[in-house]
């Protein structure tokens, strides 16, 4: 009141507005300071609460590795979020009977109810945490929700939902997801490979065969890349052999890149003189990984390639062959007629000496 009386006593309008501005600014600064202090206090409280929550539940979750504990406290509301994080961490690490005990604990503590609320939350982190949790709990009731999320343009959301479907029922999920896997080039290959690797190998073979038969020429190289990122039934590798006669250089390059058997090695040898430099690059890489004594000649020839990267990779591959030693590289270098081949091999020899 005294402040307002003092302002009203100012007769000069300029001074009045100036003084009023100073008062308002000071008031805003005080409010801002109070807000910062409140946020800080809440942050400290939240951190302390999470620390206490971890101290309570980590030992209980660790005990799950041996047996189901007799005395388990009721999950407090303030510890729900940290419990979700810790529960999922343990679920990721553990397998077998332990996961069944974790699922039992989650239902006993009403984790499914909490996670359901999370998947409807606008906060993306909470939504993703809810999806992961319900997937680990193998909660069939959210199947339709997950299918909707798979169609989302948000890459992380759609991929997380896809993983949850596989966690719930891989036999049903893989055939449904395969068309999405083909089209969703925004899904990281490593994550996709981990996801579909949990499926039955025979089922995966069938699903991939159908996918390749139905896929467009643009999609096939993307499908084949999964073969280089994960373990598959031997029958699946035959799909690549069937496609190795393709006229599409992208398909040929991918088939050579993921070569793991004799058929793949023969394909690499066949394309050692391919007009496309990136195919010759993959040939050099495969020969270094799988090549035999007879492939040394091919690598020596590729060290004279017009493309520097092909020459360099060929020299590296030659050096990494288990039956080629440093003295062998030196002899090969001294017998080379091509100056570029000698230079690139000398560079690789020098790099080996540094290591």
The pLDDT of residue 192 is above 70: yes
The 3-state secondary structure of the chain, one letter per residue: CHHHHHHHCCCCHHHHHHHHHHHHHHHHHHHHHHHHHHHHHHHHHHHHHHHHHHHHHHHHHHHCCCCCCCCCCCCCHHHHHHHHHHHHHHHHHCCCHHHHHHHHHHHHCCHHHHHHHHHCCCCHHHHHHHHHHHHHCCCHHHHHHHHHHHCCCCHHHHHHHHHHHHHHCHHHHHHHHHHHHHHCCCCCHHHHHHHHCCCCHHHHHHHHHHHHHHCCCCCHHHHHHHHHCCCCCHHHHHHHHHHCCCCCHHHHHHHHHCCCCHHHHHHHHHCCCCCCHHHHHHHHHHHHHHCCHHHHHHHHHHCCCCCHHHHHHHHHHHHHCCCCCHHHHHHHHHHCCCHHHHHHHHHHHHHHHHC
Does residue 108 or residue 245 have the better pLDDT? 108
What is the structure's pLDDT at 215? 72
Band (45; pLDDT cuts 50, 70, 90): low
Does residue 129 or residue 264 have the better pLDDT? 129
What is the structure's pLDDT at 316? 94
What is the structure's pLDDT at 295? 94
Domain ranges of the chain: 77-168
Does residue 86 or residue 285 have the better pLDDT? 285
Nearest-CA neighbor of 230 among 264, 189, 265?
189
Lowest mean pLDDT among 28-37, 138-147, 242-251, 263-272: 242-251
The pLDDT of residue 144 is above 80: yes
What is the structure's pLDDT at 307? 95
Lowest mean pLDDT among 8-17, 259-268, 274-283, 326-335: 8-17
Averaged pLDDT score across all residues of the chain: 82
Phi first, then psi: give them for residue 151, nearest 5 degrees.
Answer: -80, -5
Helix axes 339-354, 326-335, angle to 10 degrees: 160
Q: Under a CB-based contact definition with an 8 Å cutoff, are residues 58 and 86 in contact?
A: yes
Does residue 224 or residue 336 have the better pLDDT? 336
| Segment 283-312 mean pLDDT | 94
Alpha carbons 133 and 142: distance in angstroms, whole number: 11
What is the structure's pLDDT at 6? 56
Q: Under a CB-based contact definition with an 8 Å cutoff, are residues 219 and 249 in contact?
A: no
Alpha carbons 215 and 229: distance in angstroms, whole number: 20
Alpha carbons 318 and 339: distance in angstroms, whole number: 17
What is the structure's pLDDT at 10? 54
Lowest mean pLDDT among 140-154, 161-175, 192-206: 192-206
The pLDDT of residue 16 is above 60: no
Residues 6+ apart with CB under 8 A from 112: 106, 134, 137, 139
Lowest mean pLDDT among 137-146, 174-183, 197-206: 197-206
Alpha carbons 106 and 256: distance in angstroms, whole number: 46
The pLDDT of residue 13 is above 70: no
Lowest mean pLDDT among 197-201, 267-271, 286-290, 297-301: 197-201
Q: How long a stretch of residues is the chain?
A: 355
Lowest mean pLDDT among 4-8, 17-21, 313-317: 4-8
| Segment 101-127 mean pLDDT | 87
- Counting beta carbons within 10 angstroms of the beta carbon of residue 189, is it exposed (0 to 12), middle (13 to 18) or buried (19 or more)? middle
Nearest-CA neighbor of 76 among 49, 94, 102, 47?
49
Q: What is the pLDDT of residues 55-84, one digit of tens each?
A: 787 888 787 777 877 788 888 888 888 888
Q: What is the pLDDT of residues 194-250, one digit of tens each?
A: 787 777 667 777 777 777 777 777 777 777 766 665 555 555 566 666 777 777 787
Does residue 167 or residue 222 have the better pLDDT? 167
Alpha carbons 32 and 120: distance in angstroms, whole number: 32
What is the structure's pLDDT at 58? 80
């Amino acid at each position: 009141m005294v402040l307002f009386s003092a302002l009203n006593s100012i007769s000069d309008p300029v001074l009045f507005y100036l003084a009023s501005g100073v008062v308002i600014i000071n008031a805003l600064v005080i409010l801002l300071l109070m807000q910062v202090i409140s946020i800080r206090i809440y942050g400290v409280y939240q951190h302390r609460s999470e620390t206490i929550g971890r101290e309570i539940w980590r030992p209980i979750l660790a005990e799950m590795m041996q047996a189901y504990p007799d005395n388990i406290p009721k999950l407090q509301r303030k510890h729900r979020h940290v419990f979700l994080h810790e529960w999922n961490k343990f679920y990721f690490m553990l397998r077998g009977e332990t996961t069944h005990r974790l699922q039992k604990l989650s239902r006993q503590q009403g984790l499914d109810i909490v996670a359901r609320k999370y998947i409807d939350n606008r906060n993306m982190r909470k939504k993703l945490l809810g999806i992961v949790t319900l997937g680990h709990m193998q909660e069939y009731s959210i199947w339709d929700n997950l299918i909707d999320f798979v169609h989302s343009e948000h890459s992380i959301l759609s991929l997380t939902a896809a993983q949850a479907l596989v966690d719930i029922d891989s036999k049903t999920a893989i055939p449904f997801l395969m068309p999405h896997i083909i089209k969703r080039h925004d899904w990281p290959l490593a994550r996709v490979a981990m996801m579909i690797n949990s499926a039955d190998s025979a089922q995966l073979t069938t699903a991939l065969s159908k996918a390749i038969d139905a896929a467009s020429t643009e999609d096939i190289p993307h499908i084949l890349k999964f073969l280089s990122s994960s373990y598959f039934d031997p029958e699946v590798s035959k799909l690549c052999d069937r496609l190795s006669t393709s006229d599409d250089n992208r398909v040929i390059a991918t088939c050579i890149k993921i070569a793991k058997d004799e058929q793949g090695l023969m394909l690499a040898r066949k394309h050692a003189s391919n007009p496309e430099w990136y195919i010759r690059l993959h040939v050099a890489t495969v020969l270094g990984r799988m090549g035999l004594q007879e492939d040394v000649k091919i690598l020596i020839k590729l060290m004279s390639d017009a493309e520097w990267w092909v020459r360099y990779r060929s020299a590296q591959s030659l050096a990494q062959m288990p039956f080629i030693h440093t003295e062998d590289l030196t002899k090969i270098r001294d017998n080379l007629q091509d100056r570029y081949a000698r230079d690139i091999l000398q560079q690789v020899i020098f790099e080996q000496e540094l290591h």
